[in-house]
Amino acid sequence: MRIILCGFGVVGQSLVKLFNSRSEDLYAKYGLKPRVIGVFDSKGSAVDKAGLELDKLIEVKKKFGTVKNYANTKNNMSGVDMIKNLEADVLIETTASNYKDAEPGMTHIISAMKKRMHVISVNKGPLALAFPSLMELATYNQVIFKFSGTVGGGTPILDYAKNSLRGERITSFSGILNGTTNYILTNMAKGLTFETALKDAKDKGYVEADESLDLDGLDAAAKLVILANWVMDMKVTMPDINCKGIRNVTTDDIKKATKNNCAIKLIASCNKELIVEPKEVSVDDPLCVNGTLNAIAFTSEHSGTQTIIGKGAGGMETASSILRDLLDIRQEIVKS
């Protein structure tokens, strides 16, 4: 299966390592032979129609900070050129999410779909801003569009809601969808001020380069958009979310919550309205998880409330979700 990989950060590199370490097993067990024919990062690209050497790719990236130096050629293709000129089966989009125009991911995805490539995105931007129209575009071009890694990292939340609960009707859900703010709020509950907790989270590398994505709830809101579309068949985008971040949570709020046997969590909820806001959650509620954990509780018509808890991020975790999507695409292709 010929793959173009957009972005070669932590997730992209983890994915390549995963392909490398599991190549025999993936072929034997699933018949999957991933062949990465093109990769690009912000500084340049590497192309080999016969398949890039995965070890070398990692090594070059480590040494030079870019894949550009993979070969000694001068014709360094841009990402869009690569998508337009290479024949590939699947595009994997792992560039950074942004919620202004979702570029460059949006252009990558649209170009790939128009060229009849299947698309896997762990970039939330394009989905947050244009979920309904991207799904339409995928249907129109008869390609498969997967995005398991956008919500819950390696924890298959989207799949659980859609497949494991088939036949069931989910009536509402709410969750802690951003690990960074959960980490900050957990430390505030331990007595740290917002500023100190934020600094600690930054030191640990948990905070996005643009801290607003975490602190103002945009990351959680993007995931809520994706869940609402995928699980509840709503046709919504970012502007439909009523979103409030954690900047105004005070030490007093935290103390008050503790007194009520509660903790303040940034909760994304879908119950008629779509809301992201700090809320008191009982510490006895399975949803009330600490640290960087994510949790989501689905309330269903017949089988009660079910909570799934897991790491919501991480390179290898997210890479494992891309692998899942790839196996699904392979299975679909084989069928047809």
Q: Which residues are catalytic?
A: 223
Scan residues 9-28 and list those touching a second copy (CB under 8 A).
18, 26
DSSP state of 97: P
Nearer to a second copy, 85 or 164 (CB): 164
DSSP sequence for 146-213:
E-GGGTTTTS-HHHIIIIITTTS-EEEEEEE--HHHHHHHHHHHTT--HHHHHHHHHHTT-S-SSTHH
Q: What is the largest CA-CA distance in the chain?
A: 65
The answer to the question of whether 217 is labelled as a binding residue is no
Name which position in 165, 192, 232, 234 contacts a second copy (CB under 8 A).
Answer: 165
Size of the site for a second copy (CB under 8 A): 42
Residue of 259, 302, 334, 336 that binds a second copy (CB under 8 A): 302
- Considering the complex, state which of residue 5 and residue 319 has its C-beta at the smaller distance from a second copy: 319
**Interface with a second copy, residue 290, by CB under 8 A:** yes
Applying CB under 8 A, does 226 fall inside the site for a second copy?
no
Closest to 146 measured CA to CA, from 37, 154, 138, 165 = 138
Q: Does 304 bind a second copy (CB under 8 A)?
A: yes
CA torsion 215-219-222-227 (nearest 10°) is -110
ω into 126 cis (within 30 of 0): no
**For residue 286, how many other CB atoms are within 10 A of its CB?**
14
- Is residue 131 a contact partner of residue 99, using CB atoms and an 8 Å limit? no
The region of 138-146, 214-222, 236-244, 321-329 touching a second copy under the rule CB under 8 A is 321-329
Tell me: does residue 153 bind a second copy (CB under 8 A). Answer: yes
Instruction: Name the minimum Å distance from CB 324 to a second copy.
Output: 5
Q: Which residues of this protein are in contact with a second copy, per CB under 8 A?
A: 18, 26, 30, 153-156, 159-160, 163-168, 284, 286, 289-290, 293, 295, 300, 302-311, 314, 316-317, 319-321, 323-324, 326-327
